[in-house]
Amino acid sequence: MTTFDIDVASKVDDLLSRMTLEEKLAQIVGFWEGEEGDAVAPLQGENPLTGKLEDAMEHGLGHLTRVYGTTPVNADERAAWLWDKQRHLVKQTRLGIPALVHEECLTGLSAWKAATFPTPLAWGSAFDPELVESMGALIGDSMRALGIHQGLAPVLDVVRDPRWGRVEECIGEDPYLVGTVGTSYVRGLQSSGVHATLKHFVGYSASRAGRNFAPVHAGPRELADVLLLPFEMAVLDGNVRSVMHSYTDIDGMPVAADESLLTGVLRDQWGFDGVVVSDYFGVAFLHVLHEVARDHSDAAAQALTAGIDIELPTGDAYTAPLTQAIKDGRVDIALVDRAVRRALLQKQELGLLDETFEGPSPTGVDLDSPAHRAVARELAEKSVVLVSNNGVLPLDPTTVGKVAVIGPNAHRAAALFGCYSFANHVLAQRPGIEMGFEAPTVLEAIRSELGKSATYAHGCAVNDNDTSGFDEASSIASAADVAVVVVGDHAGLFGRGTVGEGCDTDDLELPGVQRALVEQVIATGTPVVLVMMTGRPYSVGWALDSCAAVIQSFFPGEEGSGAIAGVLSGRVNPSGRLSVTLPRSAGAQPYSYLHPKLGRGTDVTNLDSTPVAEFGHGLSYTAFAHTDLTVDAEVAADAVITASVTVTNTGQRHGEEVVQIYGHDTWASITRPVAQLLGYHRVALDPGESTVVTFNVPTTRLAFSNRSMKRVVEPGEIELWTGTCEQRHASASVTLVGDVHEVTVASPRWTTATST
């Protein structure tokens, strides 16, 4: 946790002591100067952006909301505007406190012409936290250069149901993977002097039937052992400075009003000392949607009491309604002072209380530099997953023959990006405005990669029933030696896409008539390579049975088409591993690889939930052998398990292996998963080369909430293996001995790994 020195605390306390009520409330709200029709937040039309900025700044201002992020503005011009407003706050308000500026930054800074990186599902599939940290630092550099202080990312929701539209914003279905990768993003972003904001604390992804905003009925053990774990890691190990509450309710209790979570767990248990911000309009939703507050005044009282310090995007409840609650005696002014003090400490930590903005505003900031592109390219390449391959791949450019490229995502740049990219978040509502940076389509990248003019047919749209393009697709496929069919999603908001915020599904078939298109191309007899660019995993068992190869890419960003083309040609040896299960069917949901023995239960039910491809799966153009997994026979229950395995490249070309180690508690007081990821490590090996990978796994990785809801490590036998959650390449076992070990917040959470 951050320790504030005496001088800083005294300065903040002095400011607080001199503030009027109006000045205090001004510091705990934002102001959003949006445009009419900008539907980029839920129920935005029912929470109109009213008032003038000049009026809102009369007594100071806590946050300026998305200055760059909701309309295409020239960065130089907008920075000049921002510096002018900040100078006004410094010179024309009584206390001279600048505003904190926040933006979305889930796949890069959400601003016009800024670099757009792969989505978090792709971060997870890359299994490379260090690379994600580098990406975070680059994003933070861009933000800081433009006068932005806080980013609303990362999303640490653990995927529980692929039908949920916001799956694409998540890192994966394993809490440890989410925690390690997400914490690395926090470290990267905050290394640039920008504060990260964890989303969405907590339970949002466990909604019933995968519907946005739907109630959550997770039990306290699922909450503690799965959903809270990544947040705990980012707070304790990443020293994150901001947390955003979840919109949902858990067992009838809205998180925005839940003091046991926002204060009890977050602050009292974990020691978090940053700020808690509301998700947009989340305080008002206590009245409007949850109906646990009589009006906005009551909503303000409940949220502030629970521990929400800052109301975003505007002051719907923390202004006049909260003033009334204070005057009526329903809110103790001490709660306001608590929130204001946290807000001021954050501004001091960011250097804002000493900032004058007297210098010139920035100009010429390169938001898509060669460094941005290099990291975007590497992350895209490492995240592409080769799901199946009967030998047709790679396509040697010198011998491949005629290539047909078909499908709705083959020649559409927007197909590369997620919902929170500027392209799909903002520009989708402003047709005709250029994207502002290079992002070749898959078709263009294939033509460049293979050095020949591949034929092309659109085939169908992402999500309608028009099959009029099928015959053209069949024709060019029949004339080709191989057909690359590029299908998937279109990311959008609130029903404007097939995936994204408010774009849930009750069907895990490919949207529209895309499956029918693929099957018609398969019927030509030409080998089909299916490329899926999606924001969720789809049920594609039929494709694995009938396509020559299947590639999964989760919205790979501005360099993504080159990464896909590189995998097709063999220039890139695929090393991505699935961060989410490819499901059997929608009827098998919700499903997680972290299930107990009865979670699959094919002997006791007629419904098969066996996944099409499991978490951690991914093929390569070379082969790797895992041998000699060694571990001590006994380890104390409060110690560290040291396990070593020899990994050898037994194939004919250089490649990278993601070495994953799993465990299973064979006998416990509570049902345990049949497989649990304990650690992972990337290694690069030449043909014939071997390395020994050593994992140091704290026994706390095997901890769980026991029958008394205490998190413990129990003694007993643990099965260990490397491979995937389904495939055991090398196996061993260890017995934990001694007394039951009760885990505390000071206990280690990270597995370390080395290769020699």
What pLDDT is stored for residue 10 in this prediction?
Answer: 87
What pLDDT is stored for residue 53 in this prediction?
Answer: 92
Is there a domain that residue 358 lies in?
A: no
Q: Where are the alpha helices (DSSP H) in 154-244?
A: 175-191, 220-222, 229-236
Residue 341 sits in the same domain as residue 406 = no
- Give the separation between CA 347 and CA 350, rounded to whole angstroms: 5
For 332, the 3-state DSSP assignment is coil
How many CB atoms within 10 Å of residue 373?
A: 17
What pLDDT is stored for residue 51 in this prediction?
Answer: 79
Q: At what angle do helices 470-478 and 514-522 cross, to 10 degrees?
A: 30
How many CB atoms within 10 Å of residue 359?
A: 8
Burial class (CB in 10 A: 0-12, 13-18, 19+), 295: middle
CB 300 within 8 A of CB 291: no
Helix (H) or strand (E) holding 261: none
Q: pLDDT for 709-743, tens place per residue?
A: 999 999 999 999 999 999 999 999 999 999 999 99
Percent above pLDDT 90 for the chain: 91
CB 117 within 8 A of CB 107: yes
Residue 634 sits in the same domain as residue 750 = yes
Mean pLDDT across the chain: 95
What pLDDT is stored for residue 252 in this prediction?
Answer: 97
Residue 561 sits in the same domain as residue 414 = yes
How many CB atoms within 10 Å of residue 629?
A: 22
- Give the separation between CA 725 and CA 664, rounded to whole angstroms: 10
Side-chain-facing half-sphere of 659: CA atoms under 13 Å: 31
Region of 415 on the Ramachandran plot (φ > 0 left; ψ -120 to 50 alpha; else beta): alpha
Residue 298 sits in the same domain as residue 222 = no
Is there a domain that residue 210 lies in?
A: yes
pLDDT band at 421 (very low <50, low <70, confident <90, very high): very high
Number of domains in the chain: 4
- Give the separation between CA 597 and CA 594, rounded to whole angstroms: 10
Residue 238 sits in the same domain as residue 322 = no
Q: What is the DSSP letter of 74?
A: -
Position 432, amino acid: G
Q: pLDDT for 582-591, tens place per residue?
A: 998 888 889 9
User: What is the mean predicted confidence (pLDDT) over 266-277?
Assistant: 98
Which of residues 551, 582, 599 is at a domain's end? 599
Q: Is the pLDDT of residue 35 over 60?
A: no
CB 313 within 8 A of CB 265: no
Task: Give the CATH number of the domain where residue 743 resides.
Answer: 2.60.40.10
> Do the strands 716-723 and 711-713 form a parallel or antiparallel pair, or are they unpaired?
unpaired
pLDDT band at 606 (very low <50, low <70, confident <90, very high): confident
Task: Give the CATH number of the domain where residue 193 resides.
Answer: 3.20.20.300
Taking Cα atoms as reference points, which of 662, 553, 537 lies closest to residue 589? 537
Is there a domain that residue 93 lies in?
A: yes
Residue 96 sits in the same domain as residue 145 = no
For 613, the 3-state DSSP assignment is strand
250 DSSP β-pair partners: 216, 253
Residue 422 sits in the same domain as residue 567 = yes
- Give the separation between CA 622 and CA 507, rounded to whole angstroms: 35
Domain of 330 in residue numbering reads as 1-65+67-102+279-351
Q: pLDDT for 623-643, tens place per residue?
A: 999 999 999 999 999 999 999
CB 497 within 8 A of CB 503: yes
Residue 647 sits in the same domain as residue 502 = no
What pLDDT is stored for residue 143 in this prediction?
Answer: 98
Q: pLDDT for 449-503, tens place per residue?
A: 998 889 999 999 999 999 999 999 999 999 999 999 999 999 999 999 999 999 9
Query: Would you state the structure tokens that stand for residue 71, as one six-digit string?
Result: 């309309």
Q: pLDDT for 651-668, tens place per residue?
A: 999 999 999 999 999 999
Residue 439: φ, ψ to 5°: -150, 85
